[in-house]
Amino acid sequence: MTNADTNDGFVVFDRVQKSYDGEILVVKDLNLSIGKGEFLTMLGPSGSGKTTCLMMLAGFETATHGDILLGGQPINNIPPHKRGIGMVFQNYALFPHMTVGENLSFPLEVRKLNKSDREAKVKRALDMVQMGDFINRRPAQMSGGQQQRIALARALVFEPELVLMDEPLGALDKQLREHMQFEITRLAHNLGITTVYVTHDQTEALTMSDRVAVFDDGRIQQLDPPDVLYEEPKNSFVAQFIGENNTLQGVVKEVKGETCIIELDDGEIIDAKPVNVSEVGQRTQVSIRPERVEYNKERLQEGAHTLKAEVLEFIYMGDIFRTRLKVAGNEDFIIKTRNAPDQEKLKPGQMIEIGWMPEDCRALDA
């Protein structure tokens, strides 16, 4: 795994701002360094500025302020066709009037490669995505997944060092999407190319990336490897956006080093890990992942605070059980338990006590 800190930054956004109308900043002060060979995902809801960042990198939008550097060189004034960046578009953008072979040959033709080189490269790129037999097809004669592979091959055929992908799997069904996620990461790592991937699908971001930049409101909210992002969200937006999450509202009662005591709004007391709260009396939103909630007292720490919970709903999902509880006035408190032989199946109406390790319960901004 590569990291921006250990690399000099192959792609660097330096204090980049973007506004379309001169009134609203779509991208507010973006600083980002992407290492060579890294797979970085820009994740965020629509309107968060992630696609604008990608378009600025590709050269289709100009930064209102700040520099974008590629391989140490500022590229603000370089037109898109001279940047040498491969790009995969949301709807593939395969040229409908050209065959697959012609589509792949296009970037090589404009680079004035001779015919035999072109043919060899096209063949290699197609083999790379296992689409060698489709060279004479037209895009309209192929399924979405096949078109996706061709679009990928076309973005790679001229051997760019940087590939941008703008929600490339958005139009595929779930199974194909999962397969292509694997395919894309495999190719990216095998070829050692730097990839910037834009998506609003957090599963995609977690499974594919070396690092994920979570965008919201024109800013990067958190930039971390997937596991850190999931387990240690730095603010409540990230906690909410990545994975499923239970939240409880309260006030900080006591802070002692790595743990703190929170008094919930209905007066109950819980343990939590202070993340961005520091003072007693501060309002906070605590976040607990459903799979980290325990209701078997034996597994809880000595002296841990517990909460009373009423089982509202029990959903059998095969590999896991999903139980909806009423906890501290919150009727949407979800817990997930593994379907193990000794696992107790809770019944609606049952009263239980729940608790968690203090480090799994993160006290975030309210």
Partner 1 sequence: MSDATQDGPVLAADGRPLKASLRSALRRQKMRALLLIAPLLIFVLITFIAPIADMLFRSVENGIVSDTLPRTVVALDDWDYGSGEVPDEPVFEALFVDMYDASERKIHTRLGSRLNYEVTGVSSLFRQAGREMEDIGEIYEDQFDALDENWTQGEFWAQFMGDPDWYSEAAGAEDPGPTFVMKEGMDELLPLTAEAYQMFATFAQEEDEDNVATEDPWALVHARLYQDLTAGAGEGYDGFGAEELAAAREAVGDFESTTYKEAFLNVDEDWADLEIWGTIKAYSPNYTPGYFLKAVDAQLTPHGVEAQPDDQAVYVKLFGRTVWMSLTITFMTILLGYPVAFLLAQLPMRQSSMLMILVLLPFWTSLLVRTSAWKVLLQQQGVINDLLVWAGIINDAGRLVMINNQLGTIIAMTHILLPFMILPLYSVMATIPPTYVRAAKSLGATNVTAFRRVYFPQSVPGIGAGSILVFILAIGYYITPALVGGTDGIFISNRIAYHISSSLNWGLAAALGSILLAAVLILYWAYDRIVGIDNVKLG
Residues that bind partner 1 (CB under 8 A): 58-60, 79-87, 89-91, 93, 95-97, 106-107, 110-111, 154-155, 158, 164
The distance of closest approach from Cβ of residue 122 to partner 1 in the complex, given in angstroms and rounded to an integer, is: 13
Place of tokens 């970037």: 107
Which segments of 26-85 does DSSP mark as H helices, in order?
50-58
Which of 30, 87 has the CB closer to partner 1? 87
Nearest 5°: the CA angle 146, 203, 86 is 45
Which of 91, 350 has the CB closer to partner 1? 91
Phi, psi dihedrals of residue 233, rounded to the nearest 5°: -60, 140
The distance of closest approach from Cβ of residue 175 to partner 1 in the complex, given in angstroms and rounded to an integer, is: 26
Place of tokens 């004034």: 77
The distance of closest approach from Cβ of residue 110 to partner 1 in the complex, given in angstroms and rounded to an integer, is: 5
Which of 60, 182 has the CB closer to partner 1? 60
Q: CA–CA distance from 165 to each of 92, 270, 274 (Å)?
A: 10, 43, 36
Tokens of 243: 């994975």
CB of 194 within 8 A of CB of 10?
yes
HSE toward the beta carbon, residue 10, CA cutoff 13 A: 19
Q: With left for phi above 0 and alpha for psi between -120 and 50, is residue 247 left, alpha or beta?
A: beta
Which of 35, 107 has the CB closer to partner 1? 107
Which of 55, 214 has the CB closer to partner 1? 55
Which of 57, 288 has the CB closer to partner 1? 57
Nearest 5°: the CA angle 49, 52, 53 is 90
The distance of closest approach from Cβ of residue 157 to partner 1 in the complex, given in angstroms and rounded to an integer, is: 9
The distance of closest approach from Cβ of residue 35 to partner 1 in the complex, given in angstroms and rounded to an integer, is: 22
Which of 128, 239 has the CB closer to partner 1? 128
Name the nearest CA neighbour of 54 among 66, 65, 68, 64: 68
Helices then strands, counting H and E runs in the chain, come out as 8, 19
The distance of closest approach from Cβ of residue 150 to partner 1 in the complex, given in angstroms and rounded to an integer, is: 12
Name the nearest CA neighbour of 162 among 42, 22, 336, 34: 34
The distance of closest approach from Cβ of residue 141 to partner 1 in the complex, given in angstroms and rounded to an integer, is: 17
Which of 115, 299 has the CB closer to partner 1? 115
The distance of closest approach from Cβ of residue 153 to partner 1 in the complex, given in angstroms and rounded to an integer, is: 12
CB of 48 within 8 A of CB of 13?
no
Q: Is the dihedral of CA 84, 201, 246, 26 positive or negative?
A: positive
